[in-house]
Structure 1
Amino acid sequence: MIEAKYFMGVDTGTQSVRVVVTDISGNILVASEKPYQTYFPKPGRAEQKPDDWWRCFNEAVKEVTDQLSMGVRYSIVGISVCSTSSTVVPIDDHGNALQDAIMWMDTRAIKEMEICNATHHPCLKYCGGAESVEWMIPKVLWIKRNQSDVYQKAYKIIEQLDWFNYKLTGGKLATSICQAACKWNYIDGHGGWQKDFFEQIGLEDYEDILVTDVKQVGEPLGKIDHEFAEKYDLNPEMQVIEGGIDAHIGMLGLGVSKPGRLAMIMGTSFVQLCFSKEEKELEGIWGPYLNPVVPGLNILEGGQISAGSIVKWYMKQWGFDKMDRPYEAIAEMLKSTKPGANGLVALDFFQGNRTPYKDPNAKGVIYGLTLSHTKADIYRALIESVAMGTKNIIDNFEKQGVPIDMIVGCGGVTKDKNWMQIIADATGKPIIVTVDPSAGGLGCCIVAAVGTQTYASFDEATEGMVKMAYTVEPNPDNYPAYEALFKRYTELYSHLKDMMNDEEE
């Protein structure tokens, strides 16, 4: 008789932490999600409290384990975490946070990003030719230049993922090749850490302040912390397996483990990811990141900073967030509008543009307002703007020789059938939705399954653990209207971008 094995996945997203337990076939036995707060102390800034992460995580773990028998709990052989990135926190030598974490979406480090990009260092060609304000190195440099007291006190400055793994292992500090290759300028197979780059930007002490022990996704970090295992009656032999960035691990949860399909994580932000065997350098795309998840495969990345967050903003401003059934109300309201939102054009750059413009100064816009427009028109214009942003990224991929046959989607937006249809219509691409639309947790369980050698490879694990639910087919009747809207969308940014960049922060 084959002994049953189970896996725990932990997806620490922007708005909440989700804990799932799956079996060897990817069936979710139980799941729990707990929200935490993001703080916006100044325009362009976004912060979270690590203590909130840990409290919510523990609440979710308790809720999950309370529903499992002792036999199942002791058969959970591996746990893996994926996280937002780069969400950055300075710690002391006991792993305690010295201040609130600087969120991935925080844009305070624009000058530091520019310092990095001004080097024109060869390492930049492995991240799309330029650094992003969202990434680790500009944020660490910002702390050094603007918070010298915190920088001097810090034992290390680490990411959310590293902090969770430190806590789960009882003190093991390492970082994932996923974070290092995609956000830290680490180049696998080409010298790793780029010492001369760090010297040029003023982080010559990078080996002291960063965690430079790089682990592969799926590599065991050690056994679970004894006190944590005892608290929740878990197997003390459970292995903590190195994970990665939530979106990138979500690729595995979507069944994307080889070139061909576009994985799209559709939540607070949108991330578009595909694998490539070649080291393709594309304009307006991040990457090629070398071997960040699956050995031998590189990742190309597009992304939209503001997506689901725009809807949250809209719902708050118009009071939908105070209704009993806000999403039903907003879906009913949408019926009064048509593609094109009665002539409104919006830009989805509420926190800047990630790709293809790579413009942190880009701003959100609603253009064409008249006294005849309604809040329904405005809502439609906003969600259409996100669809236009997705189309812009896909068009950019395809013009540079990376064909996209279909999208495999996950995240909270997949629950909104109207918005999903608009995205399919605007891009002209079918969107496949998996049985578990929040792929990060399942992706972590896949990583844990490979890390515990339950499956021999990510290909084998995704085949065995991912199931497709349904497909959203594009409506060709709406495509011409969205082609016309897309032309106005790109022209609007072209006309306004100089004004956006001239504004004082």
Structure 2
Amino acid sequence: MSVSTEPHDRFVIGVDFGTLSGRALVVRVGDGAEVGTAVHAYRSGVMDSVLAADGRALPADWALQDPDDYRDVLRHAVPGALAASGVAADQVIGIGIDFTACTVLPTLADGTPLCELPELRTRPHAYVKLWKHHAAQPQADRINALAHQRGEPWIGRYGGKVSAEWQYAKALQLLEEDPEVYTRAERWIEAADWIVWQLCGAETRNVCTAGYKGLRQDGRYPSRDYLAALHPGFADFVQKIDGPLAALGARAGGLTAQAAAWTGLPEGIAVAVGNVDAHVTAAAAQALEPGRLVAIMGTSTCHVVNGTEVAEVAGMCGVVDGGISAGFWGYEAGQSGVGDIFGWYVEHSAPDGYASHELLTEQAAAQPVGAHGLMALDWWNGNRSLLVNHDLSGVIVGLTLATRPPDVYRALLESTAYGTRMIIEAFAAAGVPVDELIVAGGLTGNPLLMQIYADVTNRPLGIIGSAQGPALGSAIHAAVAAGAHPDVAAASAVMGRVDRDAYLPDPGRVRAYDALYAEYRRLHDHFGRGGDDVLLRLRDIRNAARSVALPTQSGEAALRLEVMA
């Protein structure tokens, strides 16, 4: 398709900040045509074993990033996408961003990241904690236990458990392990809001992350009394996260001169309020209507669906008024490991001759359902929903001397589909209908995986019509912030796209998977709901064996941090 770039055409840019890189996408506001894209990899990537600044070892389950890598995406990917598009800079009217979440960092009052202060450059807690930083599980356990003990009204809105990935557990870990850095942190802010601050020069907080990750419900955050009961020094934590709150699709401000120089875009154009990569994708997939669940499948999976009523769903990540789009209650759930599990097997476990997704998929597809005799639990990176326990680990049962690599690979694919079915059934049981599954993300190109999901969930499966769902969703929100469309729903109808009913469930395979899913549930409950805590005990043994000494920067005795999840 030829793309007109006449002067009357208007364009927006969506920037998707992922786990390892950021992508910029130039999109025409009139029809959603994607006319140019560019990717920039983070220089420091994910710091999960050593701190890049000094090479010091990090404890297990840490995952840090350098915020200047995010600025580099603005400096490189945005101009690169603009150049690839052939669009003139003065035709761009707005920019929007999305981020992985909860990815959070401590800053000064002016937004300066603490890790950029020379005296804190080698303090691990001064850096961004990526969504997959799971070392705050003990703090999350205490947050949950105290909330139930006190009968805190907000805990039910999060399925009864707050995740170790979210703002409070990570901040409490910071306070307890490096109180000096905690005290220096005047702001504790989602990376989505921080990068918008960098773009427009004004701090905003988006309703999505404030609700799902910041525990803001019914206009309030958790009380000072509750926070003080967790730790006396935590009583004032809300002061670090409270700030101007804006709806999704709102204009956060205009592009500053500095950000214009980074990006090559006109100063003053609209900067949309930040958003989460999964939630923003619902608009790109034309899935804002209730009952259409979007599964954004990549290294992990996030499940989002709108509902007309508020309900408490056991094990969900949260329900937030307007958290996906205005006028609905937005529900979120997720799986901490999906594509990462398949990648782990291919890169580290598949024998020579089988280390290929394409070969393993081809051979796994030739099997009848259940022929491999295996069952796996999809907990290689812990469990986000429904158990909300990142100390859990993966399981495969049924292995024999006759088991071959395609058998294991298919069992891993199926395990993630079973995990998604658990989530769908939890929503349905709470009165939140899921009639249709729409998949976005990098795993949509695997037809076997997509068909397995349709058969396991017994629902029609659609595929988003864009390979860059989050970036397109951010562009849609940028178009609304710039005034090109009246609201996100209207922009989604014009700029979004989806191939509905791309995969339909096969009745015979559905019956076969029903029987296997029953076995998955038994295994799930045995290892995840108290039948046997062997997975937790094994992790404790591992952590004790891998304790790491981290010296403080104050000249005092070395601070010994036990390696904790």
Closer/same/farther in 2, CA of residues 133 and 94 from structure 1, 3 Å limit: closer
Task: Letter of the 2:462 partner, please give it.
Answer: I
Contact in 2 for aligned 1:156/1:209 (Cα 8 Å): yes
- After TM superposition, the structure 1 stretch with the greater mean CA deviation from structure 2, 349-358 or 337-346, is 337-346
Partner of residue 26, structure 1: 32
Deviation at 1:193, TM superposition (A): 6.1
Q: 2:389 aligns with which of 339, 343, 359?
A: 359
Per the TM alignment, residue 329 of structure 1 is displaced from its structure 2 partner at its CA by: 2.8
Pick one of 49, 56, 64 that aligns with 2:66. 49
> What pairs with 1:335-350 in structure 2 (closer than 5 Å)?
335-340=365-370, 342-350=372-380
User: Is the contact made by 1:124 and 1:130 (CA closer than 8 Å) also made in structure 2?
Assistant: yes
* Cα shift at 1:119: 2.4
CA distance in 2, matches of 1:468, 1:360: 33
Partner of 1:82: 98
Cα offset for 1:419?
A: 0.8
The residue type paired with residue 153 of structure 2 is P
Say whether the 8 Å CA contact 1:8–1:79 is kept in structure 2: yes
Provide the TM-score with structure 2 as the length reference: 0.83
Q: CA deviation at 1:411?
A: 0.3
**Which residue pairs with 2:147 in the alignment?**
119
In structure 2, C-alpha distance between the alignment counterparts of 1:90 and 1:69, rounded to whole Å: 38
Alignment of 1:61-76 (within 5 A): 61-69=78-86, 71=88, 73-76=89-92
1:418 aligns with 2:448: yes
- Structure 1 residue 83: Cα displacement: 0.5
Partners of 1:155 and 1:341 in 2: how far apart? 57
The letter of the residue matching 1:38 is V
Match of residue 464 from structure 1: 494
Aligned length: 501
Map Cα deviations across residues 124-153 of structure 1 (whole Å, 9 max, x no partner).
Answer: 222222211111111111101111122123
1:264-413 → structure 2 map (5 Å cutoff): 264-318=295-349, 326-340=356-370, 342-413=372-443
**After the TM superposition, which of the residue ranges 429-438 and 366-375 deviates more from structure 2?**
429-438
Name the counterpart of 1:158: 189
- Tell me how far apart the structure 1 counterparts of residues 326 and 352 of structure 2 sit (CA, whole Å): 44
Q: Following TM superposition, by how much is the alpha carbon of 1:288 offset from its aligned partner in structure 2, in angstroms? A: 2.2
Aligned mates of 1:349, 1:225 — CA distance in 2: 43
1:206 aligns with 2:241: no
Query: Do the aligned partners of residues 473 and 232 (structure 1) sit closer, same or farther apart at CA in structure 2, a change above 3 Å counting?
Result: same
What letter matches 1:13 in structure 2? Answer: G
The 8 Å contact of residues 74 and 262 in structure 2, kept in 1 or not, is answered as no
TM-score, with length taken from structure 1:
0.93
1:267-304 superposed Cα distances (whole Å, 9 cap, x missing partner):
11111111112111122323321222322311122211
Distance 2:363 2:131 in 1: 33
Q: Distance in 2 between matches of 1:78 and 1:21?
A: 10
Name the Cα RMSD after superposition: 2.3
Question: Displacement, 1:438?
Answer: 2.9
Q: Deviations over 1:28-85 (max 9, x none)?
A: 11112233322322432222222333324432112112224463x2121111111111
Instruction: Give CA-to-partner distance per residue, 1:382-419, whole Å, 9 cap, x none.
Output: 11110111111112222332222111110011011111
Q: Secondary structure at the match of 1:79?
A: strand
Query: 1: distance between equivalents of 2:257 and 2:168?
Result: 33
In 1: Cα distance, 2:443 partner to 2:289 partner: 24
The Cα shift of 1:346 comes to 0.6
For 1:467 and 1:105, the matched residues in 2 are separated by 30
Counterpart in 1 of 2:132?
105
Distance in 2 (CA, whole Å) between partners of 1:16 and 1:496 is 35
The yes-or-no answer on 1:499 pairing with 2:499 is no
Q: CA deviation at 1:219?
A: 1.8
- Cα separation, 1, equivalents of 2:62 and 2:511: 38
CA separation of 1:94 and 1:465: change in aligned 2, threshold 3 A: closer
Classify 1:51/1:190 alpha carbon distance in 2 versus 1 (closer, same or farther; 3 Å).
Answer: closer
Deviations 1:447-488 (CA, angstroms, capped at 9, x unpaired): 111112211122211111112235111222211221121111
5+ residue gaps, structure 1, are: none
2:272 is the alignment partner of 1:244: no
Contact 2:26 2:82 in 1 (8 A): no
- Tell me whether 46-55 or 439-448 shows the greater mean CA deviation: 46-55
Counterpart-to-counterpart distance in 1, 2:312 and 2:19: 29
The one-character-per-residue Cα deviations of 1:190-214 (angstroms, maximum 9, x if unpaired) are 4456444433333222244324222
The farther-off stretch of 50-59 and 18-27 is 50-59
Q: Verify the 8 A CA contact 1:89 1:101 in the aligned structure 2.
A: yes
Cα pair distance change 1:5/1:194, threshold 3 Å = farther
Question: d(CA) in 2 for partners of 1:317 and 1:240?
Answer: 42
Instruction: Measure, in 2, the Cα distance between the counterparts of 1:6 and 1:97.
Output: 35
CA gap 1:94/1:455 in 2 versus in 1, 3 angstroms: closer
- Any stretches of 5+ residues in structure 2 without a counterpart? 1-5, 50-58, 116-125, 544-565
Structure 2 SS opposite 1:284: coil
Q: Which moved more, 1:114-123 or 1:427-436?
A: 114-123
**Secondary structure of 2:526's partner?**
helix
CA shift, 1:228, in A, is 2.8
Which whole-Å CA distance do the structure 2 matches of 1:154 and 1:321 have between them?
49
Q: Distance in 1 between matches of 2:70 and 2:229?
A: 35
- Share of identical aligned residues, percent? 29
